Amino acid sequence: MKSVAVIGASLAGLYAARALRAQGFDGRLVIVGDERHRPYDRPPLSKDFLTGASGQEQLALADAEEIAELDAEWLLGTRATGLDTAAGAVLLDGGRSLSADGVVLATGAAPRRLPGEVPTGTHTLRTLDDAQALRADLAGGARRVVVIGAGFIGAEVASSCAALGHEVTVVEAAPLPLVPQLGEEMARICATLHADHKVTLLTGTGVSRLHGAGADGRVTAVELSDGRLLGADVVVVGIGVRPHTAWLEGSGLPLDDGVVCDAGGVTPLPHVVAVGDVARAAGSRAEHWTSATEQAAVAVRNLLAGSTVATHRSLPYFWSDQYGVRIQFAGRRAPGDTPRLVEGSPDDRSFLACYERDGRTTAVLALNRPRPFMRLRRELARATRPATA
Amino acid sequence: MIPVCHLADLPVGESVRIDTAPPVAVFNADGQLYAIDDTCTHQDASLADGWLEGCLVECPLHAASFDLRTGAPTCLPARRAVRTHPVTVEDGMIYVHHLAEEGTAA
Ligand SMILES: Cc1cc2nc3c(=O)[nH]c(=O)nc-3n(C[C@H](O)[C@H](O)[C@H](O)COP(=O)(O)OP(=O)(O)OC[C@H]3O[C@@H](n4cnc5c(N)ncnc54)[C@H](O)[C@@H]3O)c2cc1C
Ligand code: FES
């Protein structure tokens, strides 16, 4: 393999590029990214970066020295618009194209948006530019902030806005947020964190539209589906993400809520692999930092080998920081698995719980208990690793 | 020189954090004592909460690993070393010789 194009210059793309070099690929490496920034880390965007506790320098995923060592051609501010598999070429905006023997798809995901036009002062949070715009909007003194969606990102944004002294309301369509991730009992405990910090959580109601006024059409209120009006100066929409696959339509690659690939990240074309949030690997798609980094090394190995010689099956893991509480979760929880409190107490917002099914542990959850969490996470990883690995 | 705890209270494989500024983590790795800055250089996890294996400690948040002897990271996502501090034992008591940051009284 003489040339590889990595499409998407963020976490998974950078880790793929690193893995290519680490695994001995010394050919031409081109990294295409539609953002103008070099790879940076997204998790702090809703946490320390939003509160101002950390700055842009701390977001960088690679320093100048490492960028130089990678010896890659960077096409930043450049969008891939198509994949011509017959010609072995990636089409780029502006009518250019790029030929490559191998392609790594790492285009991640984009936030879902509210339908229709939205007034100014309405934000989504995925990119550094998004975070800077939101920060600027929050800088002018105390505001009424409405966060739509109480998932992890919505909750983190609410927590950061509350820490900055804003008056925050979170609106969630489901009767209780985070149930699909944590199950009802643990989700209920996590939902109490909002009230601890005087953030109002309104559940079981959707948003019918946003109101704007004035010459700049700035948001003034959020209208709920039950007719209630919430006054708002800033609105953040955190209602999930959609994998960035639109540009691959017509390429012949199977797309189904992500790029369909096997457990090794390999698509039906052995010279095209998918990694990170955009990859639907062996039937499931993760939206977590750790899987994006882990998948890259495996997919690149398969790409260089020309077939699936390795698969990625580590234990899913994610963390979230809200209201000074560090939430960590690892494992594969299925609906109906019963959580059992192992130590600590929900009242102290510090505990460890194991999810169990038929006497087996399927997942672990911790609030502010990193040490025992880590022990259990390792045990669980060992217990669930396939015997062949 | 900062007292940490009695040697007997820090068995092999255990660690303890001391609330200096910045905080320091002390480890008993196979009978050898080490002290490093407690906060992971990647983000903000406490390394005293990490996973100790030989001379390496793995961060509990994103699994960066540090060599206790040098403070250097042995894998990503951490890229900068943590500082190391000398440790001594006197009369069964562990002491850290904390290299305080300029301007902080320790
Ligand atoms: C605010 C926020 C907080 C988060 N917090 C956590 C957390 O606490 N814990 C956790 O586990 N995970 C967290 N995540 C999730 C984590 O950041 C993602 O899982 C990770 O970024 C996925 O990496 P990726 O490289 O696959 O995708 P992305 O990071 O989305 O990168 C994809 C890149 O490809 C670019 N791109 C898209 N289409 C094209 C195209 N056609 N041509 C060229 N470039 C293109 C995009 O602009 C983007 O730069 C958070 C995410 C966000 C946004
Ligand atoms: S905080 Fe230690 S690895 Fe990220």
* Domains annotated on chain A, with CATH: 3-110+241-305 (3.50.50.60), 120-237 (3.50.50.60), 324-384 (3.30.390.30)
Q: List the domain range (segments joined by +) for residue B79.
A: 2-96
Assess if residue B101 is contained within a domain: no
Assess if residue B103 is contained within a domain: no
What integer best gives the mean pLDDT of chain A?
Answer: 96
* Confidence at A116, pLDDT banded by 50, 70, 90: confident
* Confidence at B100, pLDDT banded by 50, 70, 90: low
- The neighbouring-strand residues paired with A210 are A222
Assess if residue B104 is contained within a domain: no
Please give the ipTM for the structure prediction. 0.90
* Confidence at A236, pLDDT banded by 50, 70, 90: very high
| Short-list A259, A308, A302, CA closest to A102 | A302
At B101 the pLDDT is: 54
Assess if residue B64 is contained within a domain: yes
C-alpha–C-alpha distance, residues B91 and B84, integer Å: 23
Q: Is it the case that residue A214 has pLDDT exceeding 80?
A: no
Assess if residue B34 is contained within a domain: yes
| Chain A contact present for B16, CB below 8 A | no
Mean pLDDT value of segment B67-89: 96
Residue type, A270: P
Q: Is it the case that residue A383 has pLDDT exceeding 60?
A: yes
* Confidence at A385, pLDDT banded by 50, 70, 90: low
In this predicted model, what pLDDT tens digit does every residue of A15-49 receive, in sequence order?
Answer: 999 999 999 999 999 999 999 999 999 999 999 99
Assess if residue B106 is contained within a domain: no
Chain B: give the shortest CA distance to residue A371, in Å: 5
What integer best gives the mean pLDDT of chain B?
Answer: 92
Residue A304 phi, psi (nearest 5): -70, -30
Mean pLDDT value of segment A53-60: 95
Ligand 1 atom closest to the Cα of residue A45 is: 1
Strand B84-85 versus strand B87-90 pairing type: unpaired
Q: Is residue A209 a contact partner of residue A224, using CB atoms and an 8 Å limit?
A: no
C-alpha–C-alpha distance, residues A160 and A312, integer Å: 34
Residues of chain A with C-beta less than 8 angstroms from the C-beta of B79:
63, 66
**Probe ligand 2: pick from B47, B56, B59, max atoms within 8 Å of CB?**
B59
Q: Which residues contact A66 (CB under 8 A, 6 or more apart)?
A: B79
C-alpha–C-alpha distance, residues B11 and B7, integer Å: 7
Assess if residue B65 is contained within a domain: yes
- Beta strands of chain B (E only): which ranges? 2-6, 15-18, 24-29, 32-37, 51-53, 56-58, 65-67, 84-85, 87-90, 93-96
CATH number at residue B64: 2.102.10.10
pTM for the model: 0.95
Domain total for chain B? 1
Assess if residue B76 is contained within a domain: yes
Residue A117, burial from CB neighbour count under 10 angstroms (0-12, 13-18, 19+):
exposed
Mean pLDDT value of segment A86-102: 95
Q: Is it the case that residue A155 has pLDDT exceeding 60?
A: yes
Closest C-alpha to ligand 1, atom 8 = A320
